[in-house]
Every structure is written in structure tokens, then in C-alpha cells.
Amino acid sequence: MALRSGADGVGLYRTEFLYLNRRDLPSEEEQFRTYRLVTEKFGRHPLTVRTLDLGGDKFVSQLELAEEMNPAMGLRAIRFCLRERDIFKQQIRAILRASSYGKVQMMFPMISGVGELREALAVVEEARSELKKRRITFDRQMRVGIMVEIPSAAIVADQLAREVDFFSIGTNDLIQYALAIDRVNEHVSYLYEPLHPAILRLIRRIVDAGHDAGIPVAMCGEMAGEPLYTYVLLGLGMDELSMNATSIPRVKRILRKSVAYEARDFVGGLLAHPTAADIAGILVKKLEDLFPEERF
């Protein structure tokens, strides 16, 4: 469906589904076969596999996670994987093995800084040596990136950018943590504002840090698939947008009718405004002028 909708690859392949609705854990072999199947379907297009992001709002029964007062800030995602290294390394080996069959890249969720990133990269090195010992082939150039979805990662993005091959901005969590808005709490959902000037500044900071270091910057949070934000994201310099298949045609239509340097100029002015409401008002007016046939 993604290919039919015009996708040029997979920007966020969530792997949690492999762990859901079962009692045991998926084996390396099962994971390898799943990733291989998907990458073969996408041919020369990249498949970006995100390593396990359990915890927070995503739970499974077979891993007995302790009940936490505040799971969004608890033992989740990369933190859980660095605690349960065998599960983590097994998944990395499966991803590496699949990389022989297509254009696979891997990214870690919830990286908070360079120390944690280096720990995760060390596990990748171990997985590589184990496969070499087993004489199993994999793409030695497989690109490894991180999701930037914690404000601390955005703040040290320049340091992180030197150690990875790409960034992918996870706005669902980045907005949650930057604005202190629980993403699943309906009582504060009115404060969940992608156009908050702090969020736009954070995105710009991440993009600039990535580009200064010569790496591409993608976005894979829901914000990337919302046509209202497409022109702004283009203006912020985003290299890739990842979204649900159903959003692709509309977002592509807007991108094709946009001029990147004009969007950049417009966004430069937008960033001077102090509230999300001001920014939204100006943005909608601009979009109605530029794309009268679209609805925002």
C-alpha cells in the first residue's frame, strides 16, 4: 500500500508488533525473515528499521516490565534494550542479516545523549563480530541513525550528528517532552502544539546540526504527515518526511507546488512570532494563497 501510494521507502518501521499478542519472544530467525521480506519488497528504496521501542505507551505481556509511576520517562525503548542486551543484540543481528537483501538502515529510539548512543553502537559492533564469526553476510556499510525525540538530544544534536549517519525527528515524543504534555492525556491535549515556537526552534536546531555535520535529517512523527505543516517543514530544511501511506499523495502534491527557498524565507519570518496561535494564523493565510485548491 505504501508503494502504491508513492512511498520512496520506509522512514519508520516499527518493530514492536513482532512482540505483541504472544507469550514468547520472536527469535532472531523470525525477525530476520520479517525484515528481509519487507526490504525485498521495497527493492532499492531504503527500509528504516527502528529497534525495539517498548515501554511508555507501548506494552507487551511477555516482558515483565515493572509498573512505573511515570512510564513515559521510565525504563523504555533504548534504555530497556541496554538493560536487556541479549534481546537487543538479537534484534540487531536480525536487522544486519536482512541488510544483505536490500537497502536497510537502522535507528535507535529515545537516545538522550552521546553516552547512551555509544553504548548502543558498541552493541552493534558486538553483533557485527558475532555474525562475522558465524560467517553470515551483512551490509558492512549499513547506515545507523537515531531518533531525535528527547529535548536533551536536540540540545546536543551537534555532538550526536558526528557519530551517526542520519537523524529522524520523532515529533510525537519531542513535543510531549519539550512542552511537558502527556501525549495520551486528553485533558492537556489542547496544549499539544506542533507550531509552538519552541518546537519549531528545536526542529530547526536539529536540522542545522545535522546539515553542519553532513548528515540527512528526516522526520517520522505524525507532524510529518499533516499537510498543514508540509510547507513549514520544507522551509525548515527537512530532507525526508515519513508518514502513513494515506497521507503521501496530499503531502507530495503540496511539496511539488512549493519552492524550497521561498518556504525558507517564509519560515524565517514565522519563527519571529511568539505563540502557536499567531503562527497558525499566518501559516493558514499563506497556504490558502499558495494552494487555493487545498483545504487546511
Q: Contact positions toward ligand PEP, by CB under 6 A?
A: 12, 14, 53, 149, 170-173, 220-221
Q: Is residue 173 a contact point for Mg ion (CB under 5 A)?
A: yes
> Smallest gap, in angstroms, from Cβ of residue 218 to ligand PEP?
11
Q: How far is the CB of 123 from ligand PEP (least distance, A)?
A: 21
User: What's the chain's length in residues?
Assistant: 296
Residue 11 lies near Mg ion (rule: CB under 5 A): no
For ligand PEP, the closer CB: 170 or 237: 170
**116 contact choice in Mg ion, ligand PEP, none (CB below 5 to 8 Å, kind-dependent):** none
What's the per-residue H, E or C state across the chain?
A: CCCCCCCCCEEEECCHHHHCCCCCCCCHHHHHHHHHHHHHHHCCCEEEEECCCCECCECCCCCCCCCCCCHHHCCCHHHHHHHCHHHHHHHHHHHHHHHHHCEEEEEECCCCCHHHHHHHHHHHHHHHHHHHHCCCCCCCCCEEEEEECCHHHHHCHHHHHCCCCEEEECHHHHHHHHHCCCCCCHHHHHHCCCCCHHHHHHHHHHHHHHHHCCCCEEECCHHHHCHHHHHHHHHCCCCEECCCHHHHHHHHHHHHCCCHHHHHHHHHHHCCCCCHHHHHHHHHHHHHHHCCCCCC
State in angstroms the smallest separation of the CB of 268 from Mg ion.
28
Contact call for residue 51 and Mg ion (CB under 5 A): no
Per-residue mark of binding to Mg ion, 132-161 (x: CB under 5 A): -----------------x------------
Nearer to Mg ion, 243 or 270 (CB): 243
- Residue 170 binding Mg ion, by CB under 5 A: yes
Residue 149: CB minimum distance to ligand PEP, A: 5
Residue 194 interaction partner, one of ligand PEP, Mg ion, none, beta carbon < 5-8 Å per kind: none
Q: How far is the CB of 53 from ligand PEP (least distance, A)?
A: 6
Q: Could you tell me which of 149, 158, 157, 81 has the C-alpha nearest to residue 121?
A: 81
Cα–Cα distance for residue pair 83/76, rounded to 1 Å: 10
Which is nearer to ligand PEP, 149 or 209 (by Cβ)? Answer: 149
Using rule CB under 5 A, residue 55 touches Mg ion: no
Which of 82, 282 has the CB closer to ligand PEP?
Answer: 82
238 interface partner picked from ligand PEP, Mg ion, none, CB below 5 to 8 A per type: none
Stretch near Mg ion under the rule CB under 5 A, chosen from 44-52, 168-176, 199-207, 226-234: 168-176
Q: Which residues bind Mg ion (CB under 5 A)?
A: 149, 170, 173
